[in-house]
Amino acid sequence: MDDSPVLICYDGSEGARNAITAAAALLVGRGAVILNVGPLALVAEAYAAAGSGAADLDRRAHADALVLADEGAELAREAGLRAEARARLDTPTWRGVVGIADEIGATAIVLGSRGLTGVHELVEGSLWHEVAQHARRPVLIVPPNEPALS
């Protein structure tokens, strides 16, 4: 079995937690990198507006992204994966995901879905859709948990 890690995107949402659970069930004991991509757009706006204070915003945005990634890595370890946290600032977000996947030689990218369809997906966008379009590796999209039917 290839020992390359799987890249799991984590933003703290229920869909991201579902993605970790699904990846752990499918890839027992595998190495994983848990990634949160922070909003580079906010940093760019700060550079334009605040000038020298923007570097502090850059560090804070990266630190905030790493806090979320650490949370996800802990969940992944609890689920049985050998996980490490990574954070990145990038815009658009898919570019950060694909860039880290390329950097670490990820076997696959795992993302949770919010379950948006049709117009909602078109208006709000879909990270998994963009990643699947641009990644040069398999992408596992984990659907949201549906309530049990009685």
Per-residue pLDDT of the chain (150 residues; tens, 9 = 90+): 568 999 999 999 999 999 999 999 998 878 999 999 987 765 556 555 655 566 677 788 889 999 999 999 999 999 999 999 999 999 899 999 999 999 999 999 999 986 544 444 444 457 888 999 999 999 999 988 754 433
DSSP designation for 77: H
Q: pTM for this structure?
A: 0.82
Are 97 and 35 in contact by the 8 Å Cβ rule? The answer is yes
**Distance spanning both ends of the chain, measured CA to CA:** 41
Domains of the chain: 6-142 (3.40.50.620)
Cα–Cα distances (Å) from 71 to 38, 64, 87, in that order, read: 15, 11, 12
Cα–Cα distances (Å) from 39 to 57, 64, 79, in that order, read: 11, 10, 28
Are 37 and 97 in contact by the 8 Å Cβ rule? The answer is yes
Around 9, how many Cα atoms within 13 Å sit in the side-chain half-sphere? 29
